[in-house]
Amino acid sequence: MGGTARFEAEQFAGDWVVDASIGDFAPVQPRYTADDTDNQIVESDRACHDCAPTTFRIEKPGVLRHVDGGETLVVMWVDDGFRTAALGTASGSRGAILDRKPGGSPDRTAAATDILEFYGWDIS
């Protein structure tokens, strides 16, 4: 599974909604915050005020390694406008299609679904 070369932490940062998920995808309402000084991105859940954020080191574009040894998160695809993304763990335990707005765009959702299927995810 490869990370998208299009990935840029600053553009990926911000609030997302989960349009579709595979496995137990958390966070429910993801927010990503870029930390350029340490080449990191922090994942938090806007729906869970008691949940601790997760910090990832950006190893290469789209490949986010958990700094505490947890699972690696891979952003496999993001559209040109950073409005829709397909991502999942390297182990395949969880994956999702994220969008900036609930419902997203059918065309972008279809493209993200195709990417997940290409990488072998069971999207049924």
Q: In the chain, what are the domains?
A: 9-118 (2.40.128.20)
* pLDDT tens digits, one per residue of 5-30: 999 999 999 999 999 998 888 888 99
Distance CA 26, CA 28 (A): 5
Between 31 and 2, the higher pLDDT residue:
31
* pLDDT tens digits, one per residue of 44-59: 999 998 999 999 999 9
Going by pLDDT thresholds of 50, 70 and 90, the confidence category of residue 43 is very high
- pLDDT at position 99 over 90: yes
* pLDDT tens digits, one per residue of 70-79: 899 999 999 9
